[in-house]
Amino acid sequence: MITRKRLAAWLGTALLTVATCGALPASASADAPDPQAAPKVELVLDVSGSMSTKDIDGQSRMSAAKQAFDEVLDSTPADTQLGIRTLGANYPGDDRQVGCRDTAQLYPVGPLDRDQAKAAVATLNPTGWTPIGPALLAAAKDLKGGTGSHRIVLITDGEDTCGPTNPCEIARQIAAQGVGMTIDTLGLIPDATTRDQLSCIAEATGGTYTTVQHRQQLTNRVQQLVQRDTDTTVNPVPVQGGPDCADAPTVRPGLYSDRETFSENRWYKVDVDPGQELRAAVSVSDDRAVDPDYGVLLRAVTTHGREIVRDAEAGSGRTDMISAGLRYPKPKAGSGSGDDPAPAETVCVEVGNSFAAPPSVKTTPGLPVELSIGLVASPHRASDVASFGLGDGWWLLGLLTLTGFVAGVLWGWLSRWRVAIWRTN
């Protein structure tokens, strides 16, 4: 039965919809982001007291976040419109009203000065409350303006502690503004309640949620999200990985999309020149109901099957995405090898997953896979790898050893001479 209250609510919604539609321009694409305009990204970091917990690779959540931010800032193009906002960074007291207003812009959205941004992040220490809702509203204001895409990347280890408005509802309000705003959320060692809240925030704006249990996983995921919106030329290219290294397709630097069935492994080839560093990251989304306890594997091997490097990340419960990443620097060719350039090395990249699902869940199409491949100038040299990380430090070690030996001989000779003088007198 339709009550007068329900009828009034329905009519109010209908009138609002008609009024809104009448106020919009005739073009339906007026609110769509301009792919040629500079995108804007703001990283929103939780600096509440719980970030001091030491459960990420033996270090505190705050330390892991700082290191991840340093790597992300180093890999972000200088002309990126990027900002950083904090929540819970400044008020350590018990006054709820004050603590729930504790959000501030640490670095303004604009062209990136890496040194200034990294210096600002270095000053952060776990402090106060977790006002996620107010921080999202403030971040949306920080990103206003321009016709490009707008992305908020929220990194937190807990649910909102302020209320009364659920931050999921705030995310819906932001999405309703029609400014192309996307919110991606990352939960650091989250509990079930936090996962649910962060998943809801992301889904409200068409974003993604990722559970993070390791520092490198955090770095890889934030880098992917920043790259997705700051490089307007990057669009995932469909590719089908091979069943083994021999039959794998060769991929160039870029972003690729694929699908894997449950517990499947797929292979891709990358040609890495001497002096280059291969950087690969992968995310596998569980877009349907899956069993708890799952993982993703990313590893690089030679064409002969020798493993070079790997990363494996595990998850449990309901997460929308799990990520892994790796780095492999190929040493430069040694001098004196003639005029012929050293050949590129073909590296086989394997992507695997250990997802499983109840019998009632369809296994086709496979799970969405997003693979990022990058080749950058390697910071390492041939001797750095060949000498177990000491590199050209071997000659310094030898020089120090020789210097110590000579100094010891001279000191011994001087001591004997002084003793001889003393006995003579």
235 has pLDDT over 70? no
Q: What integer pLDDT is reported at residue 2 of this predicted model? A: 36
347 bridge partner residues = 270, 302
The tens digit of pLDDT for each residue in 58-106 reads 999 999 999 999 999 988 876 678 999 999 999 999 999 999 999 999 9
CA 161, CA 259: separation in Å to the nearest integer?
A: 38
Q: What integer pLDDT is reported at residue 395 of this predicted model? A: 47
By mean pLDDT, which of 20-24, 123-127, 264-268, 365-369 is the weakest?
Answer: 20-24
207 pLDDT band, cuts 50/70/90, is confident
CA 404, CA 4: separation in Å to the nearest integer?
A: 94
The tens digit of pLDDT for each residue in 404-421 reads 667 766 766 776 666 566
- Mean pLDDT, range 262-275, rounded to an integer: 95
8 A C-beta contact, residue 300 and residue 347: yes
Q: What is the rounded average pLDDT for all residues in the chain?
A: 80
Report whether the peptide linkage leading into residue 126 is cis, meaning its omega lies within 30 degrees of zero: no
8 A C-beta contact, residue 269 and residue 347: yes
8 A C-beta contact, residue 159 and residue 189: no
Q: What integer pLDDT is reported at residue 425 of this predicted model? A: 58
Q: How far apart are the first and last CA of the chain?
A: 121
The contacts found for 26-32 with CB under 8 angstroms, 24 or more apart, are: 31/178, 31/179, 31/180, 32/180
User: Which candidate, 173, 218, 209, 189, places its Cα nearest to that of 71?
Assistant: 218
User: Which candidate, 345, 350, 343, places its Cα nearest to that of 248?
Assistant: 350
Q: Give the residue with greater pLDDT, 223 vs 404.
A: 223
DSSP label at 389? T
241 pLDDT band, cuts 50/70/90, is very high
150 has pLDDT over 80? yes
- Mean pLDDT, range 379-387, rounded to an integer: 41
The tens digit of pLDDT for each residue in 154-168 reads 999 999 988 788 999
């003579």: which residue's tokens? 424
The tens digit of pLDDT for each residue in 299-318 reads 999 999 999 999 888 776 54
Helix axes 132-142, 167-176, angle to 10 degrees: 20
Q: Which residues of 68-106 are buried (b: 16+ CB within 10 A; e: fewer)?
A: bbbbbbebbeeebbbbbbbbbbbbeeeeeeebbbbbebb
- Interstrand relation of 294-302 and 345-353 (parallel, antiparallel or unpaired): antiparallel
Q: What integer pLDDT is reported at residue 210 of this predicted model? A: 85
224 pLDDT band, cuts 50/70/90, is confident
CA 139, CA 153: separation in Å to the nearest integer?
A: 10
254 has pLDDT over 70? yes
Q: Which residues of 267-279 are buried (b: 16+ CB within 10 A; e: fewer)?
A: bbbbebebbbbbb
The tens digit of pLDDT for each residue in 313-332 reads 877 654 556 777 788 888 77
Portions of the chain given CATH number 3.40.50.410: 33-230
209 pLDDT band, cuts 50/70/90, is confident
Portions of the chain given CATH number 2.60.120.380: 237-383
The tens digit of pLDDT for each residue in 1-53 reads 433 333 333 334 333 333 333 333 333 334 455 555 677 899 999 999 999 99
225 pLDDT band, cuts 50/70/90, is confident
The topology under which CATH files domain 33-230 is Rossmann fold (3.40.50)
8 A C-beta contact, residue 109 and residue 82: yes
Domain 237-383 CATH class label: mainly beta
